[in-house]
Amino acid sequence: MQVTSIGVSESAFSLTYDKLNHVLTGNTLFSVMVGDLGDEPSNSFYVNYSVDEPFFKLMPSGGVDAETPKLVRLSIDTLLFNLGIGNYTFYITFTSFYASDVVIPIYLSVVETEDPGGGGTTERDYKLKYFFENEPRNGEVYRCEIHMDKFDGTPKEIEGTADYKFQNKKDHFDPVVASNLNLKLLASTELDLQDLYSEDEQTYKVFLKKNDQVIFVGFLKPDGINEDYVYSKWGLDIDVFDGLSTLKNLSFTNDNGIRFSGKYTGLNIVTTCLKKTGLDLPININCAVMYETGPGSLSAFETFFLNTERYYQNGSDPMDCESVIKSILQLFNATLIQHNGEWYIYRTIDLEIPTVTFNKFYNNLYQSSFVLSPLVEIGSQINDFEIFHAEANQRKSIAPSVQAYRVTYQYGNASSVFSNSELQLQGGGLDIPGWTVHNVDGMVYRNEGGQGLTSKTYTGSDDAPLIALNQSIDINSGAVIKMIIRFANVGTNSVGLRFSLGVNGKYFNTDDEQWQGSGHINFIANYSFEGFYPGSGIKICKGRGDATYEMTVKAPEDGNLSLTVFRDRHELGAGDFIIRSINVIPNDSGNIKGRDFTAQRLKRISTVTKPNITLFNGDSVSDLFVGTIYKNDADTPTEKWFRLNDPNGSSTGLRELLSLNAEDNLRMSPRPMIVFEGGVYGYLPFISYIKIDAHEGKVFQPIEYSFNTGTGILKLRSREFSSAFMQNDIDFRIDQQDNYGNETKVTIV
Q: Does the structure show a pLDDT above 70 at 313?
A: no
pLDDT at 635: 80
Flag whether 253 is in a domain. no
Residue 41 clears pLDDT 60, i.e. is over it: no
Residues 152 and 100 grouped into a single domain: no
208 with 81, same domain: the answer is no
Q: Is 248 helix (H, G, I), strand (E, B) or coil?
A: helix
Name the maximum alpha-carbon separation found in the chain. 116
Task: Please tell me whether residues 582 and 443 are part of one structural domain.
Answer: yes
Residues 146 and 216 in one domain: yes
d(CA 138, CA 140): 6
Q: Do residue 88 and residue 146 come from a single domain? A: no
User: Quick check: is 386 in a domain?
Assistant: no
- Does residue 734 belong to any structural domain of this protein? no
Same domain, 49 and 142: no
**Nearest in space to 295 (alpha carbons), one of 576, 100, 521, 36:** 36
- Confidence band (pLDDT; 50, 70, 90) for 166? very high
Q: What is the pLDDT of residues 462-521, one digit of tens each?
A: 899 999 999 888 888 888 899 999 999 999 999 999 999 999 999 999 999 999 988 899
Same-domain check for residues 560 and 515: yes
Strands (DSSP E) contained in 112-158 are 126-137, 140-149, 156-157
CA pair distance 428, 507, nearest whole angstrom: 34
| Shared domain check, 500 and 547 | yes
What is the arithmetic mean of pLDDT over 688-694? 96
Q: Which helix (H) or strand (E) holds 325?
A: helix 321-331
Mean pLDDT throughout 52-76? 86
DSSP one-letter code for 650: H
- Look at residues 590, 606, 641 and tell me which one is the last residue of a structural domain: 590
The pairing of beta strand 713-721 with beta strand 673-681: antiparallel
Domain boundaries, position 4: 1-119
Q: Distance (Å, rounded) from C-alpha 283 to C-alpha 275?
A: 11
Shared domain check, 202 and 107: no
- Choosing from 209, 241, 273, the residue where a domain stops is 241
CB 578 within 8 A of CB 708: no
Checking if the pLDDT of 665 tops 70, the result is yes
Whether the predicted pLDDT of 550 surpasses 70:
yes
Task: Give domain status of residue 687, yes or no.
Answer: no
- Res. 284 pLDDT band, cuts 50 70 90: very high
Does some domain include residue 480?
yes
* Amino acid in the structure at residue 123: E
Same domain? For 87 and 144 the reply is no
**Is the domain of 40 the same as that of 134?**
no
Confidence of residue 119 (pLDDT cuts 50, 70, 90): very low
Share of the chain above pLDDT 70, in %: 92
Residue 404 lies in a domain: no
Number of domains in the chain: 3
pLDDT tier, 3 (very low <50, low <70, confident <90, very high otherwise): very low
In a domain, 356, yes or no: no
Tell whether omega for the bond before 702 is within 30 degrees of 0, i.e. cis.
no
- Is 581 in the same domain as 461? yes
pLDDT level of residue 117 (50, 70, 90 thresholds): very low
**Rounded Cα distance, 706 and 182, in Å:** 10
Q: Which of 222, 241, 260 is the last residue of a domain?
A: 241
Identify whether 618 is part of a domain: no
Residue range 328-381, pLDDT digits in tens: 999 999 999 999 999 999 999 999 999 999 999 887 778 889 999 999 999 999
CATH of the domain at 455: 2.60.120
Least confident of 232-246, 307-321, 708-722: 307-321
Q: How far apart are the first and last CA of the chain?
A: 51
pLDDT at 120: 39
C-alpha to C-alpha distances, 375 to 67, 206, 689, nearest whole angstrom:
38, 28, 5
Q: Is the pLDDT of residue 116 over 60?
A: no
